[in-house]
Chain A
Amino acid sequence: DAKTTQPTSMDCAEGRAANLPCNHSTISGNEYVYWYRQIHSQGPQYIIHGLKNNETNEMASLIITEDRKSSTLILPHATLRDTAVYYCIVTGTSYDKVIFGPGTSLSVIP
């Protein structure tokens, strides 16, 4: 079973920040938080990952709480092309299985 819980769906206005929450209360010390997204009819795409520090790349920012039991993916300026299902995944590194939960369906609205 997936080790994370996410809201089923969210809406975000175009140009605004999209904040996608994820709970992972049973995360262990050597497990990372990964985020992927799946745009309709495509394979999932890696977005970002982190262990305990906040991370930022060209796509998004990842904020992980100090106790590591939850995190938030931030898309700073959402566009219509960001409409997708976003998956929060907890996994170890190097050949660990990636188990997908239901994810959050994000709709960016004009």
Chain B
Amino acid sequence: SAVISQKPSRDICQRGTSLTIQCQVDSQVTMMFWYRQQPGQSLTLIATANQGSEATYESGFVIDKFPISRPNLTFSTLTVSNMSPEDSSIYLCSVEDRGTKYEQYFGPGTRLTVT
């Protein structure tokens, strides 16, 4: 199983600023995924990040607002740009296990509050 860590675990930011969230995995993985979970809601997929290529964004999410980097097989970052209070959410990264189950492992999440 993959162990995932995220930094920061939480942050309070002012509107108009940007925050970069880091996701570190303890093993090499091909695909990483970024999700957003707004208060009281389910998870929404933001984008899929494949090492060596540009991230693929879901409908409603754009690269200018959520730029993603994937410099190697164990690390990715998600930046939330020009933040507004509506961006207050938990942001989670996940990876897919390449064993027999193809299940996803999730990080603990980053709780972002925008004031």
* A residues whose Cβ falls under 8 Å from a Cβ of B: 32, 34, 36, 41-46, 49, 85, 87, 93-95, 97-103
> Which residues on A sit within 8 Å (CB–CB) of B96?
94-95
Residue contact B31 to A45, C-beta cutoff 8 Å:
no
Main secondary structure of the interface of A (DSSP, over half): loop
* B residues whose Cβ falls under 8 Å from a Cβ of A: 4, 30-31, 33, 35, 42-45, 48, 92, 94, 96, 101-109
Residue contact A46 to B105, C-beta cutoff 8 Å:
yes
Q: Bound state CA distance, A100 and B58, in angstroms?
A: 13
Main secondary structure of the interface of B (DSSP, over half): strand
Q: Bound state CA distance, A93 and B102, in angstroms?
A: 6
Given contacts A43-B92, A43-B106, A95-B31, contact A100 B42 (CB under 8 A): yes
Closest B residue, CB atoms, query A44:
B106
Q: Bound state CA distance, A49 and B100, in angstroms?
A: 11
Number of A-B residue pairs having CB atoms within 8 Å of each other in the complex: 51
> Which residues on B sit within 8 Å (CB–CB) of A43?
4, 92, 94, 106-109
CB distance from B24 to the nearest CB of A (A): 14
Q: Bound state CA distance, A50 and B113, in angstroms?
A: 38
Q: Bound state CA distance, A41 and B108, in angstroms?
A: 8
Residue contact A97 to B45, C-beta cutoff 8 Å:
yes
Nearest 6 interchain pairs by C-beta: A43-B106, A46-B103, A100-B43, A93-B102, A100-B42, A44-B106
Given contacts A100-B43, A100-B44, contact A42 B108 (CB under 8 A): yes
> Which residues on B sit within 8 Å (CB–CB) of A99?
45
Closest B residue, CB atoms, query A32:
B102
Q: Bound state CA distance, A32 and B96, in angstroms?
A: 15
Q: Bound state CA distance, A83 and B6, in angstroms?
A: 25
Residue contact A102 to B42, C-beta cutoff 8 Å:
yes
Residue contact B101 to A87, C-beta cutoff 8 Å:
no
Residue contact B43 to A95, C-beta cutoff 8 Å:
no
